[in-house]
């Protein structure tokens, strides 16, 4: 009779080209540990990588679309049979099982020394049997690899009745695997711990009354009430209240920040003091925290070119180690040297140290406010020699500031004009309105009492002050909709427009009372960021923008950029990137708008600003979690540091293991000594990979 199906439930919950996420349940009594499930699914035709989340009962499978599709892959996984426990099934490798194996092998090592000689063989064989069984099973399925070499080394020691060597090797292998898995698992957990889980219940205002509702029922436009000690459940804008918010989980900022009316807040951040009412702009799966969770899940399964090459090299070296073991036995006439050589392979450190270093670097970047979507993005950023910047919201703040207040009413001073406009604009959440309100706060902040404010979509606002109608908005609104003649002031209007400024027209009592001019400002840290990028190895920095050529050239000169392309359409940015790529440039593009999405996707690595449009942040390989341009330089420096660490670990792995192999082949090191040296150096290299420093914060 055929074996029963391994999975009793296999439900697809999310799929993208080349990737599928499945919710699963295993048959009672069947293996449920992560390594066993992962190895089984990896053997399915077309599967490239598998990640198992036991807590969520989730399988994330990446597959080759040229070999299979999602439906066939799911069907093949569903058809997997429960493995025969006696037929080389994978040995469970969970942390608890490995810990038990370490304890058992240590007890055997110490106890066998006290046993009579006739009992030492069966006891040692029993202790080594899981290792030998796994080696035989892997050999039958995959051929010779590092696990098979280890099983051969223990077999040789048992055959020579060198029980101390066999038991010591078994113990060191169990200890090494336990520590290696613990370190690798810790690097995954570090990434996952960037997020703080939100509550299942949320307080919202409904008809002026606070009610508690399930978190998954909150909709865009709801007014969410957040009190001290609670985690903010949505992305949005503060409608009322003042509070201190700890944003460390999302931005890495160690000092809580003050949030009040008009400020943006992120889901996953913690309210320390105060109370806020937040207008929900992104909810559920659309929030920053939910998107980060998905990015982290993807990053744990993604492999970089460096990681894949390290794994391929490790596999290629296995036959070399096997041949060296045979040659050593012939040359020395001692099978102990063969057992020593077989233990000193390159596989563990090469295959584990690289992903651990990448994940540790990604964790450090995440704490510093930089979300890296996979090891490949970090690798490509380290190789980037050309950085292209969008202008608005990137090198500039993207936040308008009032630069000119021109009054045409003798009864109003320039400050009065700003305060007059702010009195009605303060009820409106729009970048222009918020800029006017901010400018009013810097004046004597006179407030004009008014009646109810009317919002005219895409035009402006209107109200009544002292019996006179006031309108604030575009020239079209003031001139054509309100009938206010502006032609007498065309010279002033033309001059301000020529300076690249945005204009707000204020009509009061049927006449043009004045004009407010606003302009984006250059970020204070832009120049320093450019200098840091050059020190980090970037040879060329260019500006790509849809803005006027004169304004773009002025900014490029001020920041010392190498060139500027202005008055561009979105397709023009993508074309420039394509042209530079053909010339051999390795490009990082930094942008924030919907129009930047094609360029972000076309660059070798795309970096999206924190306040960027959703499509920009989803398209980018790296997303900044706080609105600071210096994080671009932090990201480049972190990528360089990660690749430098990986190169160091690679040299250490090859160098140390070559020395150990050479000594073992010449009979200078016993199997016990080889086991200690090999596992000790491997663990040391993994710990070094895990200690990846976070990028410097400016």
Phi then psi for 119, rounded to 5 degrees?
A: -90, -15
pLDDT attached to residue 404: 93
Winning range, highest mean pLDDT, from 60-64, 415-419, 479-483: 415-419
pLDDT digits (tens, 9 = 90+) for 331-348: 776 667 766 666 666 565
pLDDT attached to residue 288: 58
Q: Is the pLDDT of residue 87 over 50?
A: no
pLDDT digits (tens, 9 = 90+) for 492-534: 998 888 777 888 999 999 999 999 998 888 888 999 999 999 9
526-535 helix and 549-559 helix, angle to the nearest 10 degrees: 60
Q: Which residues are catalytic?
A: 390
Q: Is the pLDDT of residue 219 over 70?
A: yes
Neighbours of 537 (CB within 10 A): 13
How many angstroms separate the CA atoms of 236 and 264, rounded?
Answer: 6
pLDDT band at 173 (very low <50, low <70, confident <90, very high): low
pLDDT attached to residue 694: 47
Region 614-629: what's the mean pLDDT? 73
Q: To 5 degrees, how large is the angle CA 634–CA 639–CA 640?
A: 100
Beta bridge partners of 406: 515
Q: Is the pLDDT of residue 79 over 80?
A: yes
Q: Is the pLDDT of residue 255 over 70?
A: no
pLDDT attached to residue 196: 43
Region 295-323: what's the mean pLDDT? 55
pLDDT attached to residue 294: 53
How many angstroms separate the CA atoms of 657 and 678, rounded?
Answer: 7
Q: Is the pLDDT of residue 577 over 60?
A: yes
Query: What are 176's two structure tokens?
Result: 């090494």
How many angstroms separate the CA atoms of 263 and 352, rounded?
Answer: 43
Region 285-305: what's the mean pLDDT? 53
Winning range, highest mean pLDDT, from 71-85, 466-480, 539-553, 665-679: 466-480
Region 67-73: what's the mean pLDDT? 86
pLDDT attached to residue 637: 92
How many angstroms separate the CA atoms of 568 and 582, rounded?
Answer: 20
Q: Is the pLDDT of residue 1 over 80?
A: no
pLDDT band at 696 (very low <50, low <70, confident <90, very high): very low
pLDDT attached to residue 217: 82
User: Cβ distance 679 to 172 under 8 Å?
Assistant: yes
Q: If you write DSSP's letter for every residue of 100-141 in order, what string do you get? A: HHHHHHHHHHHHHTTS-HHHHHHHHHHHHHHHHHHHHHHHHH
Lowest model confidence (mean pLDDT) among 60-74, 636-650, 670-684: 670-684
User: Cβ distance 478 to 507 under 8 Å?
Assistant: yes
Please give the model's pTM, rounded to 2 decimal places: 0.56
Lowest model confidence (mean pLDDT) among 123-137, 180-194, 677-691: 180-194
pLDDT digits (tens, 9 = 90+) for 454-502: 877 557 889 999 889 999 988 888 988 889 999 999 999 988 887 778 8
How many angstroms separate the CA atoms of 173 and 675, rounded?
Answer: 7
Which helix H or strand E contains 611, and what residues bound it? Answer: none
Query: What are 300's two structure tokens?
Result: 């744990």
How many angstroms separate the CA atoms of 619 and 617, rounded?
Answer: 6
Average pLDDT, the chain: 76
pLDDT attached to residue 542: 94
Nearest to 629 by CA among 561, 537, 535, 533: 533
Region 39-62: what's the mean pLDDT? 80
Q: Is the pLDDT of residue 244 over 50?
A: yes
Percent of the chain scoring above 70 in pLDDT: 70
Region 409-422: what's the mean pLDDT? 91
How many angstroms separate the CA atoms of 665 and 24, rounded?
Answer: 48
Q: Is the pLDDT of residue 162 over 70?
A: no
Neighbours of 234 (CB within 10 A): 28
Which helix H or strand E contains 613, and what residues bound it? Answer: none
Domains of the chain: 7-78 (3.30.70.100), 201-230+234-282 (2.70.150.10), 359-391+537-636 (3.40.50.1000), 397-521 (3.40.1110.10)
User: Cβ distance 587 to 389 under 8 Å?
Assistant: no
By DSSP bridging, strand 386-389 and strand 540-544 are: parallel
pLDDT digits (tens, 9 = 90+) for 348-378: 566 666 777 777 777 777 777 787 877 778 8
């Amino acid at each position: 009779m055929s074996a029963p199906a391994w999975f009793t439930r296999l439900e697809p919950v999310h799929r993208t080209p080349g990737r599928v996420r499945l919710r699963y349940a295993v048959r009672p009594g069947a293996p449920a540990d992560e390594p066993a499930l992962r190895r089984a699914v990896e053997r399915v035709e077309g599967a490239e990588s598998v990640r198992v989340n036991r807590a969520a009962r989730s399988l994330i499978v990446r597959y080759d679309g040229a070999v299979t599709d999602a439906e066939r892959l799911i069907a093949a996984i569903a058809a997997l049979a429960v493995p025969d426990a006696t037929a080389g099934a994978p040995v469970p490798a969970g942390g608890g099982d490995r810990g038990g194996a370490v304890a058992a092998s240590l007890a055997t090592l110490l106890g066998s020394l006290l046993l009579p000689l006739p009992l030492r063989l069966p006891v040692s064989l029993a202790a080594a049997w899981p290792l030998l069984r796994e080696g035989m099973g892997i050999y039958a399925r995959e051929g010779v690899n590092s696990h098979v070499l280890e099983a051969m080394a223990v077999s040789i020691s048992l055959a020579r009745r060198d029980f101390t060597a066999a038991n010591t090797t078994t113990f060191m292998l169990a200890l090494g695997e336990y520590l290696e898995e613990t370190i690798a698992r810790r690097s995954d957990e570090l990434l996952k711990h960037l997020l703080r889980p939100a509550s299942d219940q949320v307080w919202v205002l409904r008809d002026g009354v606070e009610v508690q509702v399930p978190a998954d029922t909150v909709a865009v436009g709801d007014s969410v009430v957040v009190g001290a000690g609670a985690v903010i459940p949505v992305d949005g804008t503060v409608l009322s209240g003042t509070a201190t918010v700890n944003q460390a989980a999302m931005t890495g900022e160690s000092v809580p920040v003050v949030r009040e009316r008009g400020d943006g807040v992120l889901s996953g951040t913690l309210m320390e003091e105060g109370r806020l009412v937040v207008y929900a702009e992104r909810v559920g799966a659309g929030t920053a925290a939910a998107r980060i969770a998905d990015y982290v899940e993807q990053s744990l399964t993604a492999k970089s070119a460096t990681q894949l090459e390290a794994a391929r090299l490790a596999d290629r070296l296995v036959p070399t180690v096997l041949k060296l073991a045979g040659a050593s036995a012939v040359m020395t006439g001692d099978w102990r040297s063969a057992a020593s050589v077989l233990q000193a392979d390159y596989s563990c450190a090469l295959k584990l140290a690289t992903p651990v270093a990448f994940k540790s670097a990604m964790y450090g970047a995440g704490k510093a406010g930089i979300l890296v979507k996979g090891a490949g993005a970090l690798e490509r950023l380290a190789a980037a020699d050309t950085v292209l910047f969008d202008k608005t919201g990137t090198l500039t703040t993207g936040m308008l500031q009032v630069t000119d207040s021109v009054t045409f009413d003798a009864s109003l001073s320039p400050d009065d004009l700003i305060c007059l406009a702010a009195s009605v604009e303060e009820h409106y959440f729009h970048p222009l309105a918020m800029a006017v309100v901010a400018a009013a706060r810097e004046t004597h902040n006179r407030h004009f009492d008014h009646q109810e404010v009317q919002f005219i979509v895409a035009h402006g606002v209107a109200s009544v002050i002292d019996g006179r109608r006031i309108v604030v908005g575009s020239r079209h609104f003031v001139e054509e909709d309100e009938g206010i003649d502006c032609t007498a002031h065309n010279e002033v209007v033309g001059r301000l427009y020529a300076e690249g400024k945005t204009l707000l027209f204020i009509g009061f009592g049927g006449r043009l009372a004045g004009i407010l001019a606003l302009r984006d400002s250059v970020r204070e840290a832009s120049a320093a960021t450019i200098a840091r990028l050059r020190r980090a190895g970037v040879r060329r920095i260019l500006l790509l923008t849809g803005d006027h050529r004169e304004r773009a050239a002025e900014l490029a000169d001020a920041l010392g950029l190498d060139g500027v392309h202005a008055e561009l359409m979105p397709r023009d940015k993508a074309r420039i990137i394509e042209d530079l790529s053909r010339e051999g440039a390795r490009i990082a593009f930094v942008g924030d708008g919907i129009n930047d999405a094609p360029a972000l996707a076309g660059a070798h690595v795309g970096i999206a600003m924190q306040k960027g449009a959703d499509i920009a942040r989803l398209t980018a390989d790296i997303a900044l979690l706080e609105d600071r341009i210096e994080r671009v330089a932090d990201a480049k420096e972190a990528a360089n540091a990660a690749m430098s660490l990986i190169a160091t670990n690679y040299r250490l792995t090859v160098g140390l293991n070559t020395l150990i192999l050479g000594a073992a082949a010449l009979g200078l090191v016993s199997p016990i000594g080889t086991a200690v040296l090999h596992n000790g150096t491997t663990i040391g290299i993994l710990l070094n990979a895990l200690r990846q420093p976070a990028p410097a914060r400016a």
